[in-house]
Structure 1
């Protein structure tokens, strides 16, 4: 195996407190990476701090922590801590997130998301290199911040990016791009924007089930929650799914959630959710890699034919 093969932590079926044994097994199963998330469950850093001890040698990444729910200095401190715990193994993934997470849940301001992400990236590159930062950025100002103990090796920084503007920023100024909810064919479109040399990371939602209708039902619930968010709606407009998803958006806007779920076409679910038996799922994941994805980060969905623990084992690249 010459490419990376990641897993999402914590797992969807258990709290972090009961995840040690399975996380510790990831390297022997063939997983190269473990990536956290930060929505309304575990924060983006604590699982990685624990995994740095539970699974020595595995690469650790945040996918993603929002740039508007922490101050720039606090974000730098958290990243420096992980870089110290896992030198050369920690990758800081940051992104704009969404109005729901930033404003409704965290009392922040979702203003000028592209500029805020760009400015945070530029600040972090200086701060994590040990520089004293006093600078007026377009979206915030920092006066005299310097890490008490900068990491000996600054972590790589990758950006959540869904459309050309942010993808180009990731390619020009960051160490990679993270994307989400795309098909193997969509990878080519994203890769065309960032070029051949930028690492491309994507979380892939996987349902190990030979019952296609059950997998589609589970997938629709996830898709409706994501694809109705404006940034994802715009992403799929760019990818060419605007008309296919229009009935879903109309039903969602009218407040009819059940109609919105039913309106997502099977072909869209099949394109964006990896499902089938374990061998079929692994083959589908490799299609993403063949089309230009460097790092698939699997997220097994509860409710399939296998438990999450079984799915983690069966989806391993050597499975």
Structure 2
């Protein structure tokens, strides 16, 4: 598989702007990932696909607790835009789902069973996966995995579990700034919510961070490992580290306010060249 870049955002309005989408396509980005638990009816991705020609779209992720699978929506989107949509699904978080969050692994299996019954092929879906058990499920039942808020070290471990031939698309948060205070402030603003979610904190502990790293808004060590910041070359080094670890695509989430300016600076295609 070729190494590509995607764009990840919380289904923000700019991600539905036809001019912005057309520019992302010109800049060489592979795919836009719509976060913030988009609905299974896939209404959020259809305008993006209609507004572009080759740009792909994915959900990052449809939450399996928000309802049952919607194979009808998947068929509608894929028939209108063949080869351009990838359904990302995941189990969300106990702290956000509440009492419904029981046996999340079983719920994932049941949801995948429903997609099977509805005719959604394994090649048309990926699974949000952090821990080894769900990562193995992603390899067994889907096209691959879409880990979120991780490191190149996690990417390497994920590739080992998935094996070759499975799609691996980690999300990577970036801040284009060489000012450590500014960059880490933007990073901690985004990190704050995730420090309350045990799926992420447990994963970071598995990666070798400590409870001290998780305290008081996150240590510099944790922030610097999770959020790539610096000049464009420094951020490209982090992207390359994921690729070298086995990622097929890296989905960039820009934390700077001027998102498009950053994406232009990091574009895989600029003036007909690539990096």
TM-based fold match above 0.5: yes
**Number of equivalences:** 269
SS in structure 2 of the partner of residue 181 of structure 1: coil
1:7 aligned onto 2:4: no
CA distance in 2, matches of 1:10, 1:166: 23
- TM-score (ref. length: structure 1): 0.78
Q: Which residue of 1 aligns with 2:225?
A: 271
Match of 1:298 among 248, 252, 266: 252
Deviation at 1:281, TM superposition (A): 1.3
- Counterpart position of 1:137: none
CA distance in 1: counterparts of 2:206 and 2:20, whole angstroms: 38
Q: What is the match of residue 119 of structure 1?
A: 110
Alignment of 1:63-102 (within 5 A): 63-72=60-69, 75-102=70-97
Could you tell me how far apart the structure 2 residues matched to 1:155 and 1:226 are? 30
Give CA-to-partner distance per residue, 1:207-262, whole Å, 9 cap, x none.
Answer: 1111122111111122221132011121112212134435x1xxxxxxxxxxx22x
Runs of at least 5 residues in structure 2 that lack an aligned partner in the other structure: 271-275
- 3-state SS of the aligned residue for 2:33? strand
**Deviation >4 Å, runs of 4+:** 9-12, 14-17
Q: Assess, with a 3 A threshold, how the Cα gap between structure 1 residues 46 and 279 changes in structure 2: closer, same or farther.
A: farther
Equivalent-residue separation in structure 1 for 2:116 and 2:212 (angstroms): 40
The Cα shift of 1:8 comes to 2.0
Cα pair distance change 1:60/1:11, threshold 3 Å: closer
Equivalent residue runs for 1:28-177 within 5 Å: 28-39=26-37, 43=39, 45-72=42-69, 75-103=70-98, 109-128=100-119, 156-177=124-145
Which has the higher mean CA deviation after the structures are superposed, 269-278 or 92-101? 92-101
Q: Which has the larger radius of gyration?
A: 1
Question: CA RMSD for the aligned pairs?
Answer: 2.2
Q: Distance in 2 between matches of 1:284 and 1:15?
A: 25
